[in-house]
Amino acid sequence: MVLASASPRRREMLVAAGYEFRVQPADIDESGFDTLDVSAEDFTKRLALAKAMTIARRFPDELVLGADTVAECEGEIIGKAANAYEAEQITRKLFGTMHRVVTGVALVRLADGRILIDSDTTTIYPKELSDQQIQAHICGGSWIDKAGAYAIQENGDEFIERIDGSITNVMGLPMELLKRMLAQIHP
């Protein structure tokens, strides 16, 4: 399998689950994907497929895995923060109300025309954060390159009251969904 992602978290989860793969990050311009009038599920599936297809064209005989994760709050799709100010705004929004984390997953092997696309959604019930906690989070930099400006595996106990759904989805790759999808390709 080829992982079309530079995400260290996705690599770690695949290694921990015992999958054999190599990494070929898909360098696509995500700004060209409109978030207006589209669900978080459709948005992430489109991006996951675009990433997988970009790499699958270079390796048509290989099974390519693409994934994309966003947070969704009150109908707004929230990706990665561009800077500390944006990270603070995202953190204040997400940790003031229940929100969802959605990951789109695509498996593509062009040689035999296999294309599977699905998504997983986890509902997050956050703890209310103090101004000091928010500032410490922003200053600590753990928001960098994270959808929704946080990483549950790094500070979930501090930020999360409870979750409904897959914790690996919140980490960026829903392993349960991936296993079901792979079973469809390799029954």
Q: Mark 8-20 as b/e (b = at least 16 C-beta within 10 Å).
A: ebbbebbeeeebe
Phi (first) and psi of residue 58, to 5 degrees: -85, -25
Tokens of 55: 């790499």
Percent of the chain with pLDDT over 90: 63
Residue 55, Cα to own-chain centre: how many angstroms? 18
Q: Which residues are catalytic?
A: 68
SS (H, E, C) 94-152: HCCCCEEEEEEEEEEEHHHCEEEEEEEEEEEEECCCCHHHHHHHHHHCCCCCCECCCCH
The CATH number of the domain where 131 resides is what? Answer: 3.90.950.10
DSSP conformation class of 82? S
Tokens of 16: 């921990």
* Structural domain containing residue 9: 2-185
pLDDT number for residue 13 = 96
pLDDT number for residue 36 = 65
As for how many domains the chain has, the answer is 1
The pTM of the full predicted model, rounded to 2 decimals, is 0.89
Read off the pLDDT of each residue in 18-24 and give the average, rounded to a whole number: 96
Averaged pLDDT score across all residues of the chain: 90
Q: Inform me whether the pLDDT recorded for 159 exceeds 60.
A: yes
